[in-house]
Structure 1
């Protein structure tokens, strides 16, 4: 009971210390409000307002029909340009797509000669280039089918493909970006706050005060873990309720209680990782430089930014040691698909096991740090 009481009281002290730090409180407020809203509204992965230019060397009814098929909000109003303006325009970044309709295009289509239409794509805008190429190909095929049906009585295709998008019917990227940004912010704040708590004790000289008290290294470390984890979980839940569901109007399909449980397990692992990093660094600038590559790797290689299946097999196996890999699977299943504990328990178990490993490493490093202070 004394061990539990000490952890509780030290944790309360940690919360008071955090509440009195205006910089860290401002960081938490910004991270779970403005940062969520702006990323959800500003970062778009679907095609939207793309610039397209068309070289119309045919000037026929069919080419005019194709030009009129590119409509907002997917495309800006098409610009009809000369062939000589294609390369300068794309070099200057004025056009993402340039469609070149050859001479005698309509006549060749009617004669069945299979003319070639060239689509030039600025592939430096990788996401827009990939999505836009698919949209443009579908638009051209649809317009050619309409034209052929009117001119020769060709019937429609014998197969009617019906697409049903589950969990995000309108394929709205803001639904994905808002929730994933909360997950990313959970990770970076857990690392920063837990690590800063240890380094703040060292820089303010209060670590020596703790050493003369009848407390152990495990009590000090676990107090920092639960206190900082509690603050982050509360901030994340409030962000889901008021920013994601309220301000952005994004529905949450699953159980918030189950998400809180998974977040608590995940934060247990990540705050232990942050304390480990704080025992390696001696100052806040060093800790900041050390935590940045750790967070970047966890963010990019955990399956949130890119699918795990697209990574090399060896890398897929390597990232399984990261708690974020399993938590992202858990959070997406719960918040997007409404999964229950019977589906996500393997991810919870894996995250808890990784957290125990990081806890043992953090405790060993933290004890070494306290021994060095003595």
Structure 2
């Protein structure tokens, strides 16, 4: 009970120190509110108001029908251009797509020939270019088929393909981005807060005060772990309920309590990583440099930005020893697919094992640093 009371009191002291650090409080409030909203809505992968132009050399009823098939919200209102202005308009960045319908296009189709439509794409707008090219091909094929009344398909295929999008039927990117931003912020803020708390002790000289008190290294570390972890966990719960579900209108399929329980397990690992970095670094700038070199691989290779399966096998095997990869897998299963504990327990078990490993590594380094300082 004495050790638990020491851990509790030291944790309360950490919370009071954080409360008086206004810059850090503003950063926490921003990270779990505006940063979540901006991250979810700004990196949209949908095609929206893409500027498109047409060169209509056919001047037929079919060419006009093709032009009329492109309309908002995916495409902006199409404009007609002369053939000589294509390069100039694309160079000026005024259009992402310029479609050229050649002479006698409808006539050649009626006689069974295969005329070609030229699609010029500004590929510097990479996301719009890739998605838009598929939409353009689909729209043109559908309109030509409808225009000729399906006469081209005299022998239809004996099967029909019905596509159903699970968990995100409208392919809304904010549904994915909002949850991924919360996962990223949990890892990011927990490392920063615990590492900064230890550096702050050293810079203010209070670490020496703790060393002469009847406290051991484990009590000091556990106090920082539970206090900073509590701040991140409460902030994540607020963001999930009010920002993701409230503002972004993202439906949560699974149990939020199960997700927060998994986040609590992850916080043991990430806060221990922050202690480890704070022990190695001697100043805040040094902590920042170490943090950048660590957090970028953790975020990029965790599976939250690109699918985990598309990475090289070597990287996949390495990332199995990090908590973020298991956290992303667990969070996506719970929040997107409504998975229960019977599905995610393996990820949780791996997170606990990794968390205790990082904790004992941080404890060992912290003890060594105290012994060197004394």
Q: Could you tell me the TM-score, scaled by structure 2's length?
A: 0.96
Change (3 A) 1:183 1:365: same
Query: Is the Cα contact below 8 Å between 2:39 and 2:181 reproduced in 1?
Result: yes
* Other structure's SS at 2:149 match: helix
Cross-structure match for 1:278: 278
The ranges of structure 1 where at least 4 consecutive aligned residues each deviate by more than 6 angstroms after the TM superposition are: none
* CA displacement at 1:123 relative to structure 2: 2.2
Change (3 A) 1:73 1:220: same
Structure 2 equivalent of residue 67 of structure 1: 67
Deviation at 1:155, TM superposition (A): 5.7
Post-superposition shift, 1:183? Answer: 0.7
What's the RMSD between the two structures over aligned residues?
1.6
Q: Distance in 2 between matches of 1:373 and 1:28?
A: 32
Structure 1 residue 221, shift from structure 2 partner? 0.8
Residues 1:306 and 2:306 are matched in the alignment: yes
Instruction: Extract unaligned runs of 5+ from structure 2.
Output: none
Give the 3 Å change call, closer, same or farther, for CA 160–72 of structure 1 in structure 2: farther
State the secondary structure of the residue aligned to 1:288: helix
Tell me by how many angstroms 1:120 deviates.
2.1
Go from structure 1 to structure 2 and tell me whether the alpha carbon gap of 1:58 and 1:42 turns closer, same or farther (over 3 Å shift): same
What's the secondary structure of 1:258's corresponding residue? helix
Provide the rounded CA distance (Å) in 1 between the counterparts of 2:175 and 2:339. 17
How far is 1:156 from its partner? 8.9
Tell whether the 8 Å contact from 1:268 to 1:355 is kept in structure 2 after alignment: yes
Structure 1 residues 1-374: aligned runs within 5 Å: 1-149=1-149, 152=151, 157-158=156-157, 159-374=159-374
Alpha-carbon distance between aligned partners in 2 of 1:37 and 1:195, rounded to the nearest angstrom:
26
Contact 1:149-1:156 at 8 Å conserved across structures: no
- Superposed displacement of residue 350, structure 1: 1.1
SS at match of 2:367: helix
Q: CA deviation at 1:98?
A: 1.8
Contiguous gaps of at least 5 residues in structure 1: none
After superposing the two structures, state which structure 1 stretch, 90-99 or 183-192, moved more: 90-99
Moved more, 92-101 or 184-193: 92-101
Offset of residue 293 of structure 1: 2.6
Output the CA distance in 2 between the equivalents of 1:297 and 1:89. Answer: 40
Distance 1:156 1:274 in 2: 65
| Structure 1 position 161, deviation (Å) | 2.7
Cα distance, 1:97 vs. partner?
A: 1.6
Q: Give the structure-1-normalised TM-score.
A: 0.96
The SS at the match of 1:149 is coil
**Separation of aligned partners in 2, 1:93 and 1:367:** 59
Distance in 2, Cα, partners of 1:157 & 1:279: 69
Report if aligned partners of 1:149, 1:155 keep a CA contact under 8 Å in 2.
Answer: no
Whole-angstrom distance in 1 between the partners of 2:132 and 2:155 = 24
Partners in 2 of 1:276 and 1:155 — Cα distance?
Answer: 70
Deviations 1:54-111 (A, max 9, x none): 2222121111111111111101111222222222222222222222222211111111
Taking a change above 3 Å as real, the CA distance of residues 283 and 215 of structure 1, as seen in their structure-2 partners, is same
State how many pairs are aligned.
Answer: 373
Distance 2:126 2:241 in 1: 33
1:99–1:119 CA contact under 8 A, matched in 2: yes
Asked if the contact 1:97–1:122 (Cα under 8 Å) also holds between the matched residues in 2, the reply is: yes
Q: Is the 8 A contact 2:145 2:152 kept in 1?
A: no
Per-residue deviation at 1:3?
2.2
Q: Give, in whole Å, the separation in 2 of the partners of 1:172 and 1:153.
A: 34
